[in-house]
Amino acid sequence: MGGGVAEAAKDTGYARGMRSGFVAVAGRPNVGKSTLVNALCGGKVAIVSDKPQTTRRRIFGIANGDDYQLVLADLPGFQRPRDALTEHMQRTVDSSFDDVDAVLLVLSARERIGAGDRFIAERVFKLDRPVVIALNKVDRLKPGHIASQMATAAGLGDFRALHPVSAKTGDGIAALRDELVGLLPEGPMYFAPEQRTDLDVEDQIAELIREKALQLTRDEVPHAITVEVEEIAEKVVRANLFVETDSQKQILVGKGGAMVREIGTRARPEIELLLGPVFLDLQVKVRPRWRRDEAMLERLGI
């Protein structure tokens, strides 16, 4: 999204002084990238969980101000690919760096800044774009610990700015947003002002259902779950939760259907914010090895 686009937009006459552009959000799994994107956008665009590899595809979160449009590309966490699913996720991360104006490198202040972070840092500092570091999860940490984590973070590369933040409490978020907006070129609105994300409503609903399923499961099960919305009809949403094995299905259905009911109970209020009152029909199905099924991954937009 460089000069060419900006020049073209100038010809079509966007408001003078309007800044706009794209920032890729990179970091290890679970450091809080999606929580941070939500905080920067002032509302929920990406699902969040305490399980690593929650985000599987690139999702744009759009933050609008009077004189800016900041588009954040929330990305899967950097990891070593293990199957077609994680391979696709890594490819998404790599290709998302091509057209951005800046990179937001997210670290967790609660964990040791280590080899995983350095691996990602090497990649993003090579891109020849401004890199802003967000040291996330500083809530309830001692100032001395934050200071020493900031010193370690500062050693990762030639960064433009380093912001200690808490995506959870909102601490430092406004200053970080201002910093990112300041790195954007003059440009047009890429999305309508009321649009928060590039996901269509089916995919938003599938993600919300998956989020609740992730919250309620553990070990290998969360990684084996995917959700597809089959139908949105008058006052009814039908969706399938896919897992890979019968035993995973048993877990997700729960005793007498208790688990899948609980997933529905948690997802419905958020779905109703998008659609109004609906009946939610959830089915749990087995699809062996879907994570290695290229056609299935493509259908899921991964």
Ligand X SMILES: Nc1nc2c(ncn2[C@@H]2O[C@H](COP(=O)(O)OP(=O)(O)OP(=O)(O)O)[C@@H](O)[C@H]2O)c(=O)[nH]1
Binding site for ligand X (CB under 6 A): 27, 29-35, 48-50, 52-55, 76-77, 136-137, 139, 166-168
Distance of closest approach, residue 8 Cβ to ligand X, in angstroms = 33
Q: Is 173 helix (H, G, I), strand (E, B) or coil?
A: helix
Whether the CB-CB separation of 100 and 72 falls below 8 Å is answered with: no
Beta strand ranges found along 40-186 (DSSP E): 59-65, 68-74, 102-108, 131-136, 161-164
Q: What is the CA radius of gyration of the chain?
A: 20
Please identify, using beta-carbon distances, which residue of 54 and 226 lies nearer to Mg ion.
54
Q: What gap in Å lies between CA 64 and CA 49, rounded to an integer?
A: 25
Give rounded-to-5 percent helix, strand, coil for the chain: 40, 20, 40
Q: Of ligand X, Mg ion, none, which one sits near residue 50, judging by CB under 5 to 8 A according to partner kind?
A: ligand X
Closest distance to ligand X from the beta carbon of 267 (Å): 17
Shortest Å, Cβ 106 to ligand X: 6
Window of 6-14, 54-62, 150-158, 234-242 that interacts with Mg ion by CB under 5 A = 54-62
Q: Identify which of residues 110 and 287 has a Cβ nearer to ligand X in the complex.
A: 110
Choose among ligand X, Mg ion, none what residue 248 binds, the Cβ cut-off being 5 to 8 Å by kind.
Answer: none
Work out how close the CB of 223 gets to Mg ion at its nearest, in angstroms, rounded to a whole number.
14
In the complex, minimum distance from the CB of residue 102 to ligand X, in angstroms, rounded to a whole number: 18
Tokens of 200: 């269509």
Please identify which residue in 20, 38, 49, 55 interacts with Mg ion, judged by CB under 5 A. 55
Residues 12-41 interacting with Mg ion (rule: CB under 5 A): 33-34
Q: In what order do the strands lie in the sheet with 161-164?
A: 59-65, 68-74, 19-26, 102-108, 131-136, 161-164
Residue 26 parent element (H or E): strand 19-26
Which residues of the shown chain bind Mg ion in the complex (CB under 5 A)? 33-34, 54-55
